[in-house]
């Protein structure tokens, strides 16, 4: 299980980094979204992998699921979503103002 989860995390981060390094705004936004998902998964995992652990205190339980990572990840999801939404709007505006979706705002050279 640990291997599977870490592999998911690693692949998502790798894809995210690859996409962020692209030159067009759309892949960059996709990459940031993917990285955001991966980071949220990571934050969630800081509570460790468990099954069937309660999060409410009871007399006959000794181990519990850690509730704090769940709260953290909720905050991170909300903030990340707002940031991505802003970036989408900004990219559309850049497309309108600069007439290109290149992140450096330059038109590519016409093919020779």
Partner 1 sequence: MINHLIVSPLLLPLLMGTVIILNANQPVARHRILGLSSCLALLVLTGILLFQSAQGPIQTYVLGDWPTPFGIVMVLDRLSAMMLFITALLALLCLAHATRGTDREGKNFHALFQFQLLGINGAFLTGDIFNLFVFFEIMLLSSYGLVLHGGGGLRTRAGMHYVILNLVGSSIFLVGVGILYALLGTLNMADLAVRMAAAPAENAALLQAAGLILFAVFALKAALLPLCFWLPDAYGFTSAPVAALFAVMTKVGVYVILRVYCLVFSEFAGVGAGLLSAWLLPAALITLAAGAAGVAGSRDLRRITAYLVIVSVGTLLAVIGTFQREAIAAAIVYLPHTTFMTAAMFLVVDLIRRQRPDAGSELIPDRPVGQPTLLGLLFLTAAVAIGGLPPLSGFFAKVMMLMTVQGNNAAPWIWTLVLGGGLLALVALGRAGIIIFWKLLPTDDMRNGQGTSHDPVPVYALADVFPAAFLLGISPLLVIFGGGITEFALAAADHVINPVHYIEAVLGPDRSLPLLYPFGGE
Interface with partner 1 (CB under 8 A):
20, 25, 28, 32, 35-36, 39, 42-43, 45-48, 68-69, 72, 75-76, 79-80, 82-84, 86-87, 90-91, 93-94, 97-98, 103-105
Helix (H, G, I), strand (E, B) or coil at 24: strand
Helix (H, G, I), strand (E, B) or coil at 55: coil
Question: Nearer to partner 1 by C-beta: 2 or 97?
Answer: 97
Helix (H, G, I), strand (E, B) or coil at 58: coil
Confirm if 97 and 90 have CB atoms less than 8 A apart: no
Q: How far is the CB of 8 from partner 1 (least distance, A)?
A: 15
């Amino acid at each position: 299980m640990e291997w599977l989860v870490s592999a998911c995390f690693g692949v998502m981060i790798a894809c995210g980094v690859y996409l962020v390094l692209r030159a067009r705004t759309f892949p960059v936004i996709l990459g940031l979204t993917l990285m955001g998902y991966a980071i949220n998964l990571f934050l969630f995992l800081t509570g460790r992998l468990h099954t069937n652990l309660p999060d409410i205190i009871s007399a006959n339980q000794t181990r519990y699921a850690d509730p704090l990572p769940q709260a953290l990840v909720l905050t991170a999801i909300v903030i990340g979503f707002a940031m991505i939404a802003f970036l989408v709007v900004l990219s559309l505006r850049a497309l309108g103002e600069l007439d290109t979706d290149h992140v450096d705002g330059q038109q590519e050279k016409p093919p020779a």
